[in-house]
Amino acid sequence: MKKFLVNSIIFFFVVVALLVLGLILPNQNTPRTIDYALIKKHELINTEKRPKLILTGGSNVLFGFNSEIISQQTNKPVINHAIHAGYGLQYIIDDLLQQNITKGDTIILAPEYSHFIGNGRFGNEPLLFSLTAVPKNIKLIRLRQLINMSSFLPKFAFGRIKSFIYNLKSKQQPSASSSKKNYTEYSINAHGDHNTHWNLGKTAFDNYEFTGKIDNGALEMLQDFNARLKTIGATLIITFPSLTQSSYQLNATTIQKIHQRLLKNDFSIIGQPKDYVFENTLFYDTPYHLNGKGVLKRTHLLLEHLKSHHD
Amino acid sequence: MLFNSLEYFIFLPLVFLLYWFVFNKNLRLQNALLLVVSYIFYGWWDYRFLSLIVFSSIIDFYCGLYIDRSNASTVKKRWLTLSMVMNLGFLGIFKYFNFFAKEFVAFADHFGVHVNTFTLDIILPIGISFYTFQTMSYTIDVYKGKLKPTKDPIIFFAFVSFFPQLVAGPIERATNLLPQFYKKRQFNYDNASDGLRQILWGLFKKIVIADNCAIIVNQVFDAPEQFSTVSLCIGAVFFAFQIYGDFAGYSDIAIGTARLFGFNLMQNFAYPYFSRDIAEFWRRWHMSLTTWFRDYVYIPLGGSKGGTWMKVRNTFLIFIISGFWHGANWTFMVWGLLNAIYFLPLLLLNKNRKNIGGIAQEKKLISLKELFQIATTFVLTVIAWIFFRAASLTDACLYIKRIFSASQFYASEINIKPLAFIFILILVEWYNRAQEHGLVLNVTKITKPLRWSLYIILIIFIFWFGADKQEFIYFQF
């Protein structure tokens, strides 16, 4: 038994050492993933001294707006802070609150529906990618987020070793085409919107179906966020993510329940979930990532909703 | 709790340490621990369905005792009937009720009679087909006098719910597993370390083979009209390896885990895709279920002792029931029927036990004749798997029809990366085809650093090439 235990423990530590190696290896990807765009987004928020409008949420927001148009129409600087729904609502909010949010700022949040279901608000694998890009955000991570992430840790660490070896072998150099690629740190415009896909056609994608129980914790999280913003003198406005018709049909009951629960709380809400349900041709590569035409439609819809909200 | 989850990798060492270091002094306590952790393992998925296992265990425990105590055969039969009705009743309600209700309505509609019926809004409890068959084998064996019933409820309840094989088998016989709960377990280094190797190989089969194949299989089977002949053929072959990797992988993990606790479970798969005919395939595929049907249905029906007609009837019955065991869908029954049709010529020509020895024994390579036999058997099973995987008979027919559209012979548009993994699987399992599992190593010949390097390579493979976590297919059965 002793021999078995000793061998098992030694072997376990060999595997753990490999995992640690994966976590500490430098990221040599060129260009780096979209997660690194968060660094630029932080810069945009923190250098803007005027009252600003910040769009945030998951990738439905990253792929959902033309902030330049919103900026022209509202006469305010607009920054798109969103990256990935998989970061979880908790991290998205905590990360934003770390930035320069001041009196007069408006935060337009379009939380993903998945954030209200199960433990979606705590994030999963993409959170690991974000922490690699912005290591100082480790201090924001709470126990529940850590638990959610932990099951992805081995695959993530080995994935990093794999990409490190691959990069050593291929010795990638940044090229002119790097800036045109999707999902990289260079795929965003001066406002933080993902724009390299705006002129690309629709690709094949499956419907999106979310399953699980609605989690009231996400609503409490939004209430806390609202209260925090109020103390700063900023405003929170909640809107809804874009979705294809077919995906909406699949999830209509859950979406209506989420909508009802949001309405029961004291939030400023613009539009209704159905308003942001568009035909499939307006989407790019998922049932919630809009293409160029879809971006324009949603942007103008948001401006209309904002106008009627202020009126 | 899934075998391929982080929870299980915390659960397993904890239970191992408690089992060998805290509860090792007392066999009864060790058995009690196994019972508690088995319930935790099952309850992790849905604790409400634990009541079903507990209820089923109580009934069968007492049925076993009363069958043994009764002298009159009518009384014995009554207790056996109670056990059968209860076990098959649960299966009927949870697994087959909605199927029969819908089919009844469709049948009546066909004759212009409109029937109002209802379906049950219930989910299928994981593992119900497995533990139900296991407990049925207990009462049947007690009834037949092959086994003395246990008077220890802890042992019986632990036997029914033994966590390594609770949700997807192997379906253990009481005659094999129950006596092991009575014996004091001694830790055996070789057995435990080989158990760990078997777990590792099972994880490779599940995560690298099955989960990667699943991605392509789902694409192709969801919209066969969008794919070419080549892609559809690859999709069907990938499903054959997906279901093998998934189920044989689960069995490897289950058997390996049981070995860590000093238990020996029966072999469930013996390299079925190396079979030279369909009869051999069925002696190598899901052996615990095949032998269950043989012992508890085929032989009581007369087996092959009667005339040709009886042999044919019993064979067809067994295959169709086996198909139906997998699920309430016509696709499974046609899958069973197809296998019976494949089996029929061997049965009629009395060649169904021709290939009972090992494949290419004491040879490294295979003869051309054997290769042809293996390839033919594989193609036949792949055709049957199309029915097994398709959502409906119409979908299965559409799939096969598309394969034979002559204009569709253009290059494949699907990711064929899993072919490389399948190649590794075939190579390793061919090398070890005479062994209990694919990763049996001769520890006297292979040095420790080499062995450990091999384990690390497999772990790297699992994490580098492993697809997103998917549930085990056989959970739905």
Domains of chain A, start order: 29-310 (3.40.50.1110)
Query: Helix/strand/coil (H, E, C) string of B238-261?
Result: HHHHHHHHHHHHHHHHHHHHHHHC
Sort out which chain A residues have CB atoms less than 8 A from B220's CB and list them: none
B471: left (phi over 0), alpha (psi -120 to 50) or beta: beta
What's the whole-number mean pLDDT along residues A216-220? 92
Q: How many CB atoms lie within 10 A of CB B255?
A: 26
Strands A106-110, A53-57: parallel, antiparallel or unpaired by DSSP? Answer: parallel
Token look-up 């095949």 returns: B290
Sort out which chain A residues have CB atoms less than 8 A from B451's CB and list them: none
pLDDT tens per residue across span B324-367: 888 888 999 999 999 999 999 998 888 888 888 788 777 777 88
Q: Which of B260, B242, B245 lies closest to B164, judged by CA? A: B260
**How many separate domains does chain B show?**
2
Are the beta carbons of A14 and B456 separated by less than 8 Å?
yes
Q: Are residues B195 and B172 in the same domain?
A: no
**Cα separation of B392 and B399, whole Å?**
11
Q: Which of A19, A107, A182, A240 lies closest to B464, judged by CA? A: A19
Lowest mean per-residue pLDDT among A131-135, A176-180, A224-228, B99-103: A176-180
What's the whole-number mean pLDDT along residues B192-218? 94
3-state secondary structure of A61: helix
Q: Give domain status of residue B84, yes or no.
A: yes
pLDDT for residue A156: 87
pLDDT for residue B77: 94
Q: Strand pairing partners for A54? A: A79, A107
pLDDT for residue B31: 96
pLDDT for residue B183: 93
Q: Give domain status of residue B242, yes or no.
A: yes
Centroid of chain to Cα B315: 20
**Cα separation of B28 and B31, whole Å?**
5
Assess whether pLDDT exceeds 70 at residue B170. yes
H/E stretch holding A277: strand A277-278
Q: Are residues B115 and B260 in the same domain?
A: no
Are the beta carbons of B463 and A155 separated by less than 8 Å?
yes
Are the beta carbons of A159 and B463 separated by less than 8 Å?
yes
Distance from CA of A204 to the nearest CA of B (A): 12
Q: Are residues B197 and B166 in the same domain?
A: no
pLDDT for residue B474: 60
- Report which DSSP code applies to A272: -
Assess whether pLDDT exceeds 90 at residue B230. no
Q: Residue B434 half-sphere exposure, CB side, CA atoms within 13 Å?
A: 9
> What percentage of residues in chain A have a pLDDT greater than 90?
70
Q: Are residues B106 and B207 in the same domain?
A: no
Q: Give domain status of residue B117, yes or no.
A: yes
Return mean pLDDT, chain B. Answer: 89
Token look-up 């009834």 returns: B143
pLDDT band per the 50, 70, 90 thresholds, residue A175: low
List the structure tokens of B287: 């052996």
Assess whether pLDDT exceeds 70 at residue B100. yes
Do the beta carbons of residue B361 and residue B433 sit within 8 Å?
no
What's the whole-number mean pLDDT along residues A214-229? 93
DSSP class per residue in A122-188: G--HHHHHHHHHSGGGGGG--HHHHHHHHTTHHHHHHHHHHHHHHHHHH-----GGGGG-TTBTTSB
A-B contacts (CB, under 8 Å): 31
pLDDT for residue A67: 96
pLDDT for residue B120: 63
Q: Are residues B29 and B133 in the same domain?
A: yes
Question: Which of the two residues, A67 and B6, has the higher pLDDT score?
Answer: A67
Q: Are residues B22 and B159 in the same domain?
A: yes
Q: Which of A119, A153, A155, A211 to mutate to test the interface with B (most CBs of B within 10 A)?
A: A155
**Cα separation of B460 and A15, whole Å?**
9
Return mean pLDDT, chain A. Answer: 90
Distance from CA of B16 to the nearest CA of A (A): 11
Q: What's the Cα-to-Cα distance from A34 to each of A41, A54, A150, rounded to whole Å? A: 11, 18, 22
Q: Are residues B170 and B194 in the same domain?
A: no
Lowest mean per-residue pLDDT among A48-57, B97-106, B439-448: B97-106
Boundary-marking domain end, from B141, B163, B185: B185
pLDDT tens per residue across span A110-169: 999 999 999 899 998 899 999 989 999 999 999 999 988 888 888 888 888 888 888 777
Residue B225: partners with Cβ closer than 8 Å, 6 or more residues away: B398, B402
Q: Are residues B233 and B382 in the same domain?
A: yes
Q: Does A143 touch chain B (CB under 8 A)?
A: no
**Cα separation of A177 and A197, whole Å?**
13
Q: Give domain status of residue B304, yes or no.
A: no
Q: Which of A253, A257, A271 lies closest to A309, judged by CA? A: A271
Boundary-marking domain end, from B185, B216, B244: B185
**Cα separation of A45 and A102, whole Å?**
10
Distance from CA of A206 to the nearest CA of B (A): 10
Q: What's the Cα-to-Cα distance from B435 to each of B150, B281, B430, B442, rounded to whole Å? A: 33, 17, 10, 11
Lowest mean per-residue pLDDT among A297-311, B122-136, B237-251: B122-136
Distance from CA of B6 to the nearest CA of A (A): 6
pTM: 0.82
Q: Are residues B119 and B174 in the same domain?
A: yes
Interface residues on B facing A, Cβ-Cβ cutoff 8 A:
5-6, 20, 187, 189, 192-193, 196, 452, 455-456, 459-460, 463-464, 466
pLDDT tens per residue across span A58-88: 999 999 999 999 999 999 999 999 999 999 9
Do the beta carbons of residue A83 and residue A215 sit within 8 Å?
no
What's the whole-number mean pLDDT along residues A160-186? 74
Query: Helix/strand/coil (H, E, C) string of B189-234?
Result: HHHHHHHHHHHHHHHHHHHHHHHHHHHHHHHHHHCHHHCCHHHHHH
Sort out which chain A residues have CB atoms less than 8 A from B260's CB and list them: none
Assess whether pLDDT exceeds 90 at residue A232. yes
Boundary-marking domain end, from B142, B160, B185: B185
pLDDT for residue A9: 94
Do the beta carbons of residue B321 and residue B297 sit within 8 Å?
yes
pLDDT tens per residue across span B250-276: 999 999 999 999 999 999 999 999 999
Q: Give domain status of residue B118, yes or no.
A: yes
Q: Are residues B176 and B240 in the same domain?
A: no
Strands A78-80, A235-238: parallel, antiparallel or unpaired by DSSP? Answer: unpaired
pLDDT for residue B353: 80
Give the CA-trace dihedral at B455, B456, B457, B459, to 10 degrees.
Answer: 90
Q: Are residues B177 and B221 in the same domain?
A: no
Lowest mean per-residue pLDDT among B1-5, B72-76, B152-156: B1-5
> What percentage of residues in chain B have a pLDDT greater than 90?
64
pLDDT for residue B406: 54
Q: Give domain status of residue B306, yes or no.
A: no
Q: Residue B103 half-sphere exposure, CB side, CA atoms within 13 Å?
A: 8
Q: Give domain status of residue B285, yes or no.
A: no
Range of the domain at B25: 6-185
pLDDT band per the 50, 70, 90 thresholds, residue A240: very high
pLDDT band per the 50, 70, 90 thresholds, residue A171: low
Lowest mean per-residue pLDDT among A157-161, A268-272, B292-296: A157-161
pLDDT for residue A174: 53
Sort out which chain B residues have CB atoms less than 8 A from A11's CB and list them: 452, 455
pLDDT for residue A8: 93
pLDDT for residue B235: 93
pLDDT band per the 50, 70, 90 thresholds, residue B46: confident
Hey, which of A131-135, A152-156, B123-127, B379-383 has the most confident mean pLDDT?
B379-383
Q: Which of B468, B3, B45 lies closest to B252, judged by CA? A: B3
Q: Which of B393, B419, B389, B334 lies closest to B221, judged by CA? A: B389
Facing residue for A15 by CB, picked from B6, B459, B464: B459
Amino acid at B382: V
Lowest mean per-residue pLDDT among A159-163, A251-255, B171-175, B183-187: A159-163
Q: Are residues B134 and B245 in the same domain?
A: no
Q: What's the Cα-to-Cα distance from B401 to each of B122, B149, B219, B405, B406, rounded to whole Å? A: 35, 53, 17, 7, 10
What's the whole-number mean pLDDT along residues B117-128? 73
pLDDT tens per residue across span A243-267: 999 999 999 999 999 999 999 988 9
Which residues of B have a catalytic role annotated? Answer: 326
Q: How many CB atoms lie within 10 A of CB A214?
A: 16
Assess whether pLDDT exceeds 90 at residue B409. no
Lowest mean per-residue pLDDT among A186-195, B13-22, B322-331: B322-331
Question: Which of the two residues, B166 and A177, has the higher pLDDT score?
Answer: B166
pLDDT for residue B208: 93
Q: Which of A4, A12, A149 to mutate to test the interface with B (most CBs of B within 10 A)?
A: A4
pLDDT band per the 50, 70, 90 thresholds, residue B469: low
Backbone angles phi, psi at B137, to 5 degrees: -65, -30
Do the beta carbons of residue A93 and residue A81 sit within 8 Å?
no
Q: Give domain status of residue B166, yes or no.
A: yes
Question: Which of the two residues, A215 and A53, has the higher pLDDT score?
Answer: A53
